[in-house]
Structure 1
Amino acid sequence: MKRTFFLTMIMGLVALLWSACHTSPSIISATGMPYEVEVVTTRALWDDTVGVSLRAELQRPISGLPQAEPSMRVTFVTPDDFNGLTTYVRNIIILTVDAERYTKLSVRAEKDRWATGQVVVYISAPDEASVLTYLADHRGALTDYFTRLEMMRMAQVMQETYSSLVMDSVKSKFGVMLNVPSDITSFKDTTNFFWASNNANTGRMDVVVYTFPYTDEKTFTLEYMQHMRDSILGANIPGAYPNSHMTTQPIGLTYTPRTLQGKYCGVLRGLWKMEGDMMGGPFVSFARLDEANHRVVVAEGFVYAPETDKRNYIRRLEAGLHTLRLPGEFDKPLDGVEEMNGRKN
């Protein structure tokens, strides 16, 4: 009897150890910081023209910031050292050049290869020239892909952890939903304008929401959206001195159409400043047409952080703007991120 019990315990222990050793790696959560990419390739490629071009692509300066900041933080590891913890990084590019294995260049993405929440992009080519041609012909594609991916990751986190004050206020006031960082808890509410902030001494982040009637299809242009922004924010966001107010700097201002919840969304991006004051920084605003109520709904985030880099602050706010949902969209899932081949993840 004792022997049977002892054998049962041994067999159970062996089964437990086998299970631990053979459990799918996907139960491990991806590591690394947002907007960090690990490149796996040979030292020869990394130090050559291909590596220089790939780094230049991933470290492209972000538009709409007062000082140049790279899009991604890039790290490097050789295939021989790519094991253990290095395989759990959230964003990985595996670059392979081998004429015997490949006859043409291919680029594909794979989710959760070694850890959950991970994306691995494989770039495989027969020669270096193919990789250089791809990077030249698809300038910005890799950077934009990882940026959108990180935006969606942040937006998904904000589905669970967000400022309930902002959510409840904009839902009650405008009939829309918006998830923004949970530390944005101070607010000012006027008749047709909502303004909230984290009031931080370092890295201040602000969010505004407002609407105006939709009367003309020319509404969704850079010129008109800038005009409305200057008019509405200028009247509602004063500076520290008499007659000072917020305005938009025209230099470097961009307007980009995109799709949000399957519908048109205009993205205005650039720099703001206080007229009559020394304050300023980056902003990004999303404008959507609420057809049912014949109005334009604008949600914007802006940052004031003169003492530090602004990339991650403005990107946190932009991730929140991706959650802007109009009436009839409250139960819809957030938009996904396209894979490198154009299909949805």
Structure 2
Amino acid sequence: MKKIAMLLVFSVLFISCNPANDKKVLKTANGRINSLLVVMKNSQWQGDLGNELRKILAEPVIALPQPESQFEVSQVPLESFGSMFKATRNVLSVSLGDENSFTVNTNVYASPQKIITIIGKSEEELIDLIVTNNKKIVSEFKTSDLATVQRNILKKYWDPTKIKTFQEQGYSIKIPRNYNFVDDTGDFVWYRYHIDGANSMEIITYSYPIESENDENGNAIVARRDSIGKKYIPGEVKDSHMITEEAFTPHIFEVTLDGKKAFETRGKWEVKGMYMAGPFLSYSVIDKAKNRVVVVEGLTYAPSVNKRDYMFEIEAILKTLKINQ
């Protein structure tokens, strides 16, 4: 029995000392999507340095009916950055030091977590670093949050091989199982998630042939989506259907999606002949191999409710697009 006991002791010691088992276990990160914690001196936060950060972090999200900042921001001084705050999902640390540096780290104290650390030899140099890296600051936090949303909402999704349009048209996106089927014609897909009451989030997809330069350069996006709205998305009264809001010009940016040239469009939709409207986001992807444009779009109907996070979830879904080779 003594020999067996000794063998057990040695086995435990071997396992505990084995480098393969010396993996750091991180706590689960806390904090809402599209929120971040700024760690810096109170006096700096209330001065020019803080003002420069707020210009970037509190910039309104475009094409929303009500103004909403792209991040909800909290601030604590370094001496208050204890264990509770260290588990925050998104952290931006700004301080003075002996050298200028801009670093990005992942999963330092918790997971998933993104920490950006900016150090400057003076406040003026700190401001220069912030201005120079303003797009990277936003992109790092947004990309991390998008991945988190995708992990959370896409644990269960509708099987793309069972969706007729995806099979016949040779592309697909991952639609969460809590979105309900509305339409699937072989050319057009429509799924809906009921937020509460009559409020909803909608996912639609379709494609159309490239027939002119306007289709390739993004100049036909509004005309094409309006024709789809007339054909597939009727309103509740006669001759009503979804259109792009005529009083608001959409914002269109050239981006890359699924490795292909695409146009991101952020605008507002309305139902012609009815008092219904809201924001939409679409990606029009140029599929040169099949001489077509593949469109994935999401929109929200939620009057008098903040819609930033709803549209962010839609963005996460749309960016799962895969076009068959």
Q: TM-score when scaled to structure 2?
A: 0.87
- TM-superposed CA distance for 1:29, in Å, is 2.2
Aligned to 1:236: 232
Aligned to 2:213: 217
Aligned ranges 1:107-186 → 2 under 5 Å:
107-164=102-159, 168-186=163-181
Aligned to 1:301: 298
Aligned to 1:319: 316
Deviations 1:38-81 (A, max 9, x none): 11112221222212221231111001111110101111122112
8 Å CA contact 1:259, 1:265 repeated in 2: yes
Letter in 2 for 1:310: K
8 Å CA contact 1:192, 1:211 repeated in 2: yes
Pairing 1:76–2:72 present? no
8 Å CA contact 2:160, 2:166 repeated in 1: no
Q: Distance in 2 between matches of 1:182 and 1:64?
A: 27
Q: Distance in 2 between matches of 1:265 and 1:155?
A: 21
- TM-superposed CA distance for 1:23, in Å, is 6.7
8 Å CA contact 2:233, 2:241 repeated in 1: yes
8 Å CA contact 1:166, 1:178 repeated in 2: no
Q: TM-score when scaled to structure 1?
A: 0.82
- TM-superposed CA distance for 1:239, in Å, is 1.2
Aligned ranges 1:9-158 → 2 under 5 Å:
25-98=24-97, 101-102=98-99, 105-158=100-153
- TM-superposed CA distance for 1:242, in Å, is 1.3
- TM-superposed CA distance for 1:113, in Å, is 1.0
Moved more, 25-34 or 110-119: 25-34
Q: Distance in 2 between matches of 1:213 and 1:82?
A: 55
Letter in 2 for 1:114: Y
Q: CA RMSD in A?
A: 3.0
Sequence identity percentage: 26
- TM-superposed CA distance for 1:139, in Å, is 4.5
Moved more, 217-226 or 178-187: 217-226
8 Å CA contact 1:26, 1:116 repeated in 2: no
8 Å CA contact 2:235, 2:274 repeated in 1: yes
Q: 5+ residue gaps in structure 2? A: none
- TM-superposed CA distance for 1:259, in Å, is 1.3
Per the alignment, do residues 165 and 204 of structure 1 end up closer, same or farther by CA in structure 2, a change over 3 Å counting?
Answer: farther
Q: Distance in 2 between matches of 1:309 and 1:227?
A: 28
Q: How many residues are treated as equivalent by the alignment? A: 320
The residue matched to 1:223 in structure 2 has which SS?
coil
Aligned to 1:247: 243
